[in-house]
Copies of this chain bind each other. A is one copy, B any other.
Amino acid sequence: MEEKFLHDHPSKPRTKDEIQKAINRLKRIEGQVRGIQKMVEDDRYCVDILVQISAIQSALKNVGFSITERHINHCVSDAIKQGEGKETIEELMTVMKQFSK
Which A residues are within 8 Å of any B CB, using their own CB?
Answer: 1, 3, 5-10, 13-14, 19, 22-23, 26-27, 29-30, 33-34, 36-37, 40-41, 43-51, 53-54, 56-58, 60-61, 63-65, 67-73, 75-77, 80-81, 85-86, 89, 91-93, 95-101
- Identify whether the interface residues of A are mostly helix, strand, loop, or mixed: helix
- Residue contact B95 to A54, C-beta cutoff 8 Å: yes
With contacts A44-B8, A71-B46 known, is A27 near B23, CB below 8 A?
no
What B residues does A37 contact at CB under 8 A?
23, 26-27, 30
What B residues does A34 contact at CB under 8 A?
26, 30
- Residue contact A64 to B43, C-beta cutoff 8 Å: no
